[in-house]
């Protein structure tokens, strides 16, 4: 929802302002800066909660304490009730609640926050930085001239002239007294997992419905919508949201094939949106549109990883479309990690499946979540991810792997228990609830475009030159080399290369195999006797 920047250990307002200058897209509505004895806090604001009075930094204790935050705290009203007798609140902002909760409980206050956040608190001589449990909101830091600089994006971070940039670890906080402290860890695999279908389905249904409803938080005049590609994940989110928002705005994008046929996501999105009674919006982009957007996508995505770039382009168009109608949009990110939705996971032994899920969840902060954050913020659009509610993550890691991928008629059905949890509930039609998993790029019809262009542009000799010059980069294909060249035009600093996440799932050939058919054909699992 916002951009933050600051320094600890000095009053370098010039650098902090330069970093804020690089973040106007993250906060087009307001800008604030505060100098403290031991540092500087800066903020650019996208106004969503307490639009009128939520200017940041928010101060307390005679101006000696202050906070900046990027994110939302979904349970702030409940927390505020407990704090009100002890503290005088100046705003109705969720951010102010964090500050007073910190004053009450210290750094451990993060354990009570239900939300997505990256924040910094100055309290006298004490300093605290924190990032949400999963790492939904971005935060980077670097050491320079005995100071610590921090901000929301890699590009802004390099303006501090640092030698090396670090991603602030998810589920951690930092204090000047204790250094980095882990406060949340993705649960380990369970000795006694939940294997009963009805129990698992009921828990998933109740937990997820609450997670979606929590993420509808905003001021009354700030509109909330939902992505709706017609896939299971986004359609389920949209269906639950539509119960609470009449004529919910939903969004889908895609291409036409050589015969003029719309891509599968456009077809399926219409079915899902019509079923839930949404006001549905579509954008059909062309191959020329794809290539025109590609440099900007890579620049703002802040990575050259092919898997992320491919998915970022349709995400870019979806965010562009959504920003014309809403300020906040819900997405289906996270279901594949929690419930074994990736095709390569079907090859894992059951005892290894939750281990792989845990690995994916622990690394998603600078991979898929980075894509969602950067593409949304490019259009001053806040993306929220109900599947990465901590209660959902904790629950998913308790579910037996055999319920996540289930054999039926010789096929292995991904995310089986999630589908089962909403079967016969009326939320979605069967053709959407049991739709076969397709990658974002496949559903949008643009899976091969980047690789096709890379084949034309990159020689084997050029790939070897890049590999030799940048051994720390992950260049394993012509496509990666092609994107890397574009990336370096906008991000020439070597300091950020070690902070870039690389998605490993596409190392498995099956993950990129095309899925044939349409929603009327073989894209639907046949589950009549489940």
Active site residues: 2
> Strand 382-384 and strand 328-330: pairing?
parallel
Mapped onto helix, strand or coil, the DSSP state of residue 382 is: strand
Ordered alpha helix ranges (H), 111-223: 154-157, 197-214
Whether the bond between 116 and the residue before it is cis, its omega within 30 degrees of 0, is: no
**CA–centroid distance for 16 within its chain:** 25
Closest CA to 488 of 309, 303, 294, 291: 303
Integer Cα distance of 106 and 117 in angstroms = 17
What is d(CA 130, CA 182) in angstroms, rounded to the nearest whole number? 10
Task: Give me the sign of the Cα torsion angle 343, 345, 348, 350.
Answer: negative
Q: How far apart are CA 454 and CA 438, in angstroms?
A: 23
For 324, the 3-state DSSP assignment is coil
Distance CA 275, CA 383 (A): 23
**Cα–Cα distance for residue pair 456/434, rounded to 1 Å:** 38
Q: H-helix or E-strand containing 187?
A: none
Considering just the CA atoms, what is the radius of gyration of the chain in Å? 23
| DSSP result, 66-116 | EEEEEEEETTHHHHHHHHTTT---S---HHHHHHHHHHHHGGGGGGG--EE
> Where are the extended beta strands (E) located within 132-240?
140-144, 147-151, 166-167, 172-175, 179-182, 224-227
Which helix (H) or strand (E) segment holds residue 419: the answer is helix 416-421
Half-sphere exposure of 209 (CA within 13 A, CB side): 14
Per the CB < 8 A criterion, the answer to whether 91 and 54 are in contact is yes
Q: What is the largest CA-CA distance in the chain?
A: 69
C-alpha distances out from residue 64 to 15, 121, 127, Å: 22, 11, 12
């Amino acid at each position: 929802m916002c951009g933050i920047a600051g320094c600890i250990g000095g009053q370098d307002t010039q650098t902090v302002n330069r970093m804020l200058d690089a973040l106007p897209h993250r906060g087009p509505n307001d800008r604030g800066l505060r100098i403290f004895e031991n540092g500087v806090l800066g903020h650019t604001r996208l106004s969503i909660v307490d639009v009128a009075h939520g200017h940041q930094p928010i101060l307390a204790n005679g101006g000696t304490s202050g906070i900046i935050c990027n994110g939302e705290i979904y349970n702030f009203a409940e927390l505020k009730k407990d704090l009100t007798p002890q503290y005088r609140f100046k705003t109705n902002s969720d951010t102010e609640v964090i500050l007073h909760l910190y004053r009450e409980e210290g750094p451990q206050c993060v354990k009570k926050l239900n939300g997505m956040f990256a924040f910094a608190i100055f309290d006298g001589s004490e300093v605290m930085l924190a990032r949400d449990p999963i790492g939904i909101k971005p935060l980077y830091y670097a050491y320079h001239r005995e100071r610590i600089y921090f901000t929301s994006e890699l590009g802004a971070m390099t303006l501090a002239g640092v030698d090396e940039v670090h991603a602030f670890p998810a589920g951690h906080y930092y204090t000047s007294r204790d250094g980095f402290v882990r406060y949340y860890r993705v649960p380990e695999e369970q000795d006694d997992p939940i294997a009963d279908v009805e129990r698992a389905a009921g828990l998933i249904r109740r937990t997820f419905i609450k997670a979606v409803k929590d993420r509808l938080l905003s001021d009354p005049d700030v509109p909330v919508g939902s992505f709706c590609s017609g896939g299971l994940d986004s359609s389920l989110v949209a269906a639950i949201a539509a119960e609470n928002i009449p004529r919910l705005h939903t969004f889908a994008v895609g291409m036409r094939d050589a015969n003029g046929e719309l891509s599968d996501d456009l077809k399926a999105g219409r079915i899902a949106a019509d079923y839930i009674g949404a006001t549905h919006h579509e954008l059909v982009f062309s191959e020329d549109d794809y290539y025109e957007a590609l440099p900007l996508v890579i620049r703002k995505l802040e990575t050259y990883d092919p898997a992320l770039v491919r998915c970022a382009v349709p995400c870019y168009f979806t965010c562009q479309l959504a920003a014309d109608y809403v300020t906040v949009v819900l997405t289906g990110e996270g279901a594949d990690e929690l419930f074994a939705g990736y095709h390569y996971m079907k090859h894992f032994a059951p005892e290894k499946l939750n281990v792989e899920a845990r690995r994916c969840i622990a690394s998603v902060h600078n991979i898929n979540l980075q894509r969602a954050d950067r593409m949304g913020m490019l259009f001053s659009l806040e993306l929220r991810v109900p599947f990465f509610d901590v209660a959902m993550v904790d629950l998913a890691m308790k579910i037996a792997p055999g319920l996540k991928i289930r054999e039926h008629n010789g096929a292995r059905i991904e995310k089986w228990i999630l589908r089962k949890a909403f079967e016969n509930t009326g939320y979605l039609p069967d053709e959407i609830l049991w739709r076969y998993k397709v990658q974002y790029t496949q559903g949008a019809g643009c899976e091969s475009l980047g690789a096709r262009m890379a084949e034309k542009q990159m020689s084997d000799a050029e790939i070897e030159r890049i590999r030799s010059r940048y051994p720390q980069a992950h260049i394993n294909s012509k496509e990666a080399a092609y994107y890397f060249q574009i990336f370096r035009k906008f991000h020439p600093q070597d300091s950020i290369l070690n902070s870039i996440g690389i998605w490993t799932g596409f190392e498995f050939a099956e993950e990129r195999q095309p899925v044939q058919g349409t929603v009327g054909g073989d894209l639907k699992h046949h589950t009549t006797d489940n």
